[in-house]
Amino acid sequence: MDALPEKKNADAVPQRPTRRNFLGKSALLGLTGAGLTLGLAGCKDDGAAKGAAASASAKAAGAPQAAGHEVAPGQLDEYYHFTSGGHSGEARILGLPSGRTLRRIPVFNIDPMVGWGLTNESKAIIGTKPDGSLKYTTGDTHHIHGSYKDGTYDGRWLFVNDKIHARLARIRMDTMECDKIVEIPNIQGFHGIFPDKCDPVDAKVNYTTRVFCGAEFHIPLPNDGRDLNDPSKWGCLFSCVDAATMEVRWQCRVDGNMDLIATSYDGKLAASNQYNTENAFDLAGMMASERDACVFFNVGRIEQMIKDGKFTTIGSSKVPVVDGRKAANADPKTALTCYVPVSKNPHGVNASPDGKYFVCSGKLSPTATVIDLSLVHKWFAGELKDERASVVAEPEIGLGPLHTGFDGKGNAYTSLFLDSQIVKWNVDKAIAQFKGDKAAKVVLDRLDVHYQPGHTYCSMGETKEADGKYFNSGNKFSKDRFLPVGPLHPETEQLIVISGEKMVMIADHTAYPEPHDGIIVRRDIVKTRQIYNMDDFPNAVKTPADSRVERKGNKVSIFLMSQAPSYSMPVIKVKKGDEVTLTLTNHDKVEDLTHGCAIPTYNVNFIVNPQETKSVTFKADRAGAFWIYCTHFCHALHLEMRSRLLVEA
Q: Does 49 bind its own copies (CB under 8 A)?
A: yes
Contacts of 632 (CB under 8 A, 6+ apart): 594, 595, 596, 607
CB nearer to its own copies: pick between 49 and 203: 49
Residue 232 binds to its own copies (criterion: CB under 8 A): no
Count of chain residues binding its own copies (CB under 8 A): 188
Taking each continuous run of H as one helix and of E as one strand, the counts in the chain are 6, 41
Stretch binding its own copies (CB under 8 A), from 22-30, 238-246, 301-309, 551-559: 22-30
List binders of its own copies among 295-324 (CB under 8 A).
none
Residues from 259 through 278 that contact its own copies (CB under 8 A): 259, 275-276
Query: Which of 16, 38, 15, 19 lies closest to 364 in space, CA to CA?
Result: 19
- Pick from 2, 3, 75, 552: which binds its own copies (CB under 8 A)? 75
Report whether 162 contacts 176 (CB < 8 A). no
CB of 598 to its own copies, least distance (A): 5
Q: Among residues 186 and 329, whose Cβ is nearest to its own copies?
A: 186
Beta bridge partners of 201: none
- Choose between 548 and 635: whose C-beta lies nearer to its own copies: 635
CA gap 4, 8 in Å, rounded:
12
By CB under 8 A, is residue 62 in contact with its own copies?
Answer: yes
Query: Min. distance of Cβ 356 from its own copies in angstroms?
Result: 28
Q: State the CB neighbour count (10 A cutoff) for residue 618.
A: 16
Closest contact distance (angstroms) between CB of 265 and its own copies is: 26
Q: Of how many residues is the chain composed?
A: 649
Is the backbone peptide bond immediately before 514 cis, with ω within 30 degrees of 0? yes
Report the chain's terminal Cα–Cα distance, integer Å: 81
Is 517 a residue that touches its own copies (CB under 8 A)? no
Interface residues for its own copies in 444-463 (CB under 8 A)?
A: 450, 452, 454
From residue 581 to residue 620, what is the string marking binding to its own copies with x (rule CB under 8 A)? -------x-xxxxx-x-xxxx-xxx-x-xx-x--------
Instruction: Give strand pairing partners of 307.
Output: none
The binder of its own copies chosen from 74, 309, 436, 500 (CB under 8 A): 74
21 binds its own copies, rule: CB under 8 A: no
Residue 589 Cβ vs its own copies, minimum distance, rounded to whole Å: 8
Answer yes or no whether residue 362 interacts with its own copies by CB under 8 A. Answer: no
- Shortest separation between residue 165's beta carbon and its own copies, angstroms: 6
Round to whole Å and give the CA distance between 598 and 627. 8
Closest CA to 374 of 268, 274, 284: 268
Q: How far apart are CA 472 and CA 632, in angstroms?
A: 33
In single-letter form, the type of residue at position 642 comes to R
**Contacts of its own copies in 332-361 (CB under 8 A):** 345, 347
∠ CA(99), CA(481), CA(98), 5° rounding? 10
What helix, strand, coil percent values describe the chain, rounded to 5? 15, 40, 45
Residue number with CB closer to its own copies (67 or 330): 67
The window from 78-86, 323-331, 384-392, 460-468 that contacts its own copies (CB under 8 A) reads: 78-86
Angle formed at CA 199 by CA 194 and CA 204, multiple of 5 degrees: 135
Q: How far is the CB of 302 from its own copies (least distance, A)?
A: 26
Subset of residues 165 to 224 that bind its own copies, contact rule: CB under 8 A: 165-166, 174-177, 188-189, 216-217, 219-220, 223-224
CA dist., res. 604 & res. 282, Å (int): 45
Q: Of 52 and 203, which CB lies nearer to its own copies in the complex structure? A: 52
Q: What distances in angstroms separate CA 455 from CA 161, 273, 298, 517, one per listed residue?
A: 15, 15, 27, 5
Cα–chain center distance at 12: 34
| Distance in angstroms (rounded) separating the CA atoms of residues 407 and 241 | 29
**What one-character DSSP code corresponds to residue 465?**
T
Q: In the range 564-583, which residues lie near its own copies by CB under 8 A?
A: 564-568, 570, 576
* H or E stretch covering 153: strand 152-162
* Closer CB to its own copies, 467 or 508, in the complex: 508
Burial of 307 (0-12, 13-18, 19+ CB in 10 A): exposed
Pick the piece of the chain touching its own copies (CB under 8 A) from 32-40, 244-252, 326-334, 387-395.
32-40
**Shortest spacing between CB 225 and its own copies, in angstroms:** 3
Q: Which of 7, 10, 83, 88 binds its own copies (CB under 8 A)?
A: 88
DSSP 184: P
Question: Minimal distance in Å, beta carbon 272 to its own copies?
Answer: 13
Rank residues 362 and 395 by Cβ distance to its own copies and give the closer one.
Answer: 362
Among 45, 308, 331, 535, binds its own copies (CB under 8 A): 45
Per CB under 8 A, does 3 bind its own copies? no
Residue of 87, 123, 145, 614 interacting with its own copies (CB under 8 A): 87
Least separation in angstroms between residue 135's CB and its own copies is 8
Count Cβ atoms below 10 Å from residue 475 Cβ, excluding itself.
26
Nearer to its own copies, 374 or 528 (CB): 528
Among 130, 225, 309, 500, binds its own copies (CB under 8 A): 225
Q: Single out the residue of 1, 12, 125, 283 in contact with its own copies (rule: CB under 8 A).
A: 283
Distance in Å, CB of 558 to its own copies, minimum: 16
Ranges within 111-150 binding its own copies (CB under 8 A): 111-114, 117-118, 133, 135-140
Segment 374-403, which members bind its own copies (CB under 8 A)? 400
Question: Is there a cis peptide before residue 565, judged by omega within 30 degrees of 0?
Answer: yes
Residue 154 burial (CB < 10 Å; 0-12/13-18/19+)?
Answer: middle
Residue 469 and residue 131: Cα distance in Å, rounded?
A: 51
Return the range that interacts with its own copies (CB under 8 A); candidates 53-61, 246-254, 293-301, 302-310.
Answer: 53-61
Please state, in angstroms and rounded to a whole number, the distance separating the CA atoms of residues 349 and 296. Answer: 11
Q: Which of residues 460-499 bind its own copies (CB under 8 A)?
A: 476-479, 481-490, 494
In the bound state with its own copies, the residue whose beta carbon lies nearer, of 354 and 640, is 640
